[in-house]
Amino acid sequence: MPRAKPVVLLVEPIHPKYAKLLERRCRVVRPKGFTEDQLAESAREADGILIRTKGCVSARIIAAAPRLKVVARHGVGLDHIDLEAATRAGVRVVYTPAGSLTAVAEHTWMMILALAKKACTGDRAVRTADYEARSRGENLQLEDQVLGILGLGRIGGRVAQIGRFGFGMKVLYTDLIRYGRKERRLGANKVPLAQLLVKSDVFSIHVPLTDLTRGMIGAREIARMKPGALLINCARGAVLDTRAAARALEEGRLGGAGVDVFDPEVPPLDHPLLKCANAILSPHNAAQTAEARLNYAAVALDLLRVLDGKAPFYPAN
């Protein structure tokens, strides 16, 4: 006898608007924990899984859920969902690629501006009556500087747009894809990574975490960067070797670093980057706005579309 409602495993809480929608349309179950064993057990009767940041959807979990039709990612990154296993099992994966576009782009620019204008140094100087600090180094004027974007997708494109039209910067980018329309709109040029590193005054990372991008910016790449350049990572922690970045800051080769994401997360308290005065760090909260959380939770709509036998708006496989 068919079930009256599909079963959805809601791994973590989501915005009440979409949580209530799921509860009306589905029987919502929640796991006892976030280990692979606990999620596999909780997913046994699931038609859908909605996951945020805790836990993963591995091949084992997919195999343990014979009724599974869709995995929904409350966010952008897909690195903790086994896409190949889902595809082999005929399970759709959906996500919200534009959910945090504005929030992360704004956070990126907060870090760029704070570093370029030495905001933290200036704040400390005023609080300690150290007005001689004004003569111990110059701020960076962004107009006509080169903004290097690693990954000119949705977020990288918005960061580039703000740099080009907000601050009059020159835009270079590296990507597997050629974005001809964006190039024309932004006056941007696509260059190899080695050239991007050498030419960028501000280098901002906006790529997903894949086998190709893991460790992509390490000690060798940082050594090629322009002396005094600013390095920003609001993408995925494992793309950047933060210890190599800390060494470059300590040696004065980098002008500053802004990091929102670490690998592992949370970084140990003795991590060298935490001791660098010219680093601005945040606890993976670039996307923590009310608007982004609501946008992310809208993935419930695609989950329901798949359960209704319809094509999703934002498929990942």
Report the candidate in 202, 205, 169 with the shortest Cα–Cα distance to residue 188: 169
**pLDDT mean over 40-59:** 96
Q: Residue 3: its pLDDT value, please?
A: 66
Residue carrying the six token digits 């111990």? 136
CA distance 265 to 12: 18
| Contact yes or no for 79/208 (Cβ under 8 A) | yes
Catalytic residue among 158, 236, 247, 293: 236
Q: Residue 2: its pLDDT value, please?
A: 59
CA distance 316 to 95: 7
For residue 279, what are the β-bridge partners?
257
Q: Residue 4: its pLDDT value, please?
A: 82
**pLDDT mean over 234-248:** 97
**pLDDT mean over 69-76:** 95
Q: DSSP letters along 110-137, please?
A: HHHHHHHTTHHHHHHHHHTT-GGGGGS-
**pLDDT mean over 165-192:** 97
Residues 6+ apart with CB under 8 A from 164: 147, 170, 171, 186, 187, 188
**pLDDT mean over 286-309:** 96
Strands 92-94 and 70-73: parallel
The question of whether 80 is a catalytic residue gets the answer no
Q: Residue 280: its pLDDT value, please?
A: 97
**pLDDT mean over 141-161:** 97
CA distance 7 to 22: 10
Q: Catalogue all structural domains in the chain, each as residue range(s) with its CATH number.
A: 7-99+291-307 (3.40.50.720), 101-281 (3.40.50.720)
Residue 127, pLDDT above cutoff 60? yes
Catalytic residue among 265, 271, 293, 305: 265
Question: How do residues 1-23 score in pLDDT, each as one tens digit?
Answer: 456 899 999 999 999 999 999 99
Percent of the chain with pLDDT over 90: 94
The question of whether 220 is a catalytic residue gets the answer no
Report the candidate in 247, 240, 251 with the shortest Cα–Cα distance to residue 197: 240
CA distance 265 to 283: 9
Exposed/middle/buried for residue 90 (C-beta within 10 Å: 0-12, 13-18, 19+): exposed
Residues 6+ apart with CB under 8 A from 117: 139, 140
Whether this model's pTM surpasses 0.85: yes
Strand order of the β-sheet with 279-281 is: 189-190, 170-174, 146-150, 202-205, 229-233, 254-259, 279-281
Q: Residue 190: its pLDDT value, please?
A: 98
The question of whether 271 is a catalytic residue gets the answer no
Question: How do residues 84-110 score in pLDDT, each as one tens digit?
Answer: 999 999 999 999 999 999 999 999 999
Q: State the average pLDDT for the chain.
A: 96
**Cα 303 vs. chain centroid, distance in angstroms?**
22
Sign of CA dihedral 148, 153, 159, 164: positive
Q: Residue 144: its pLDDT value, please?
A: 98
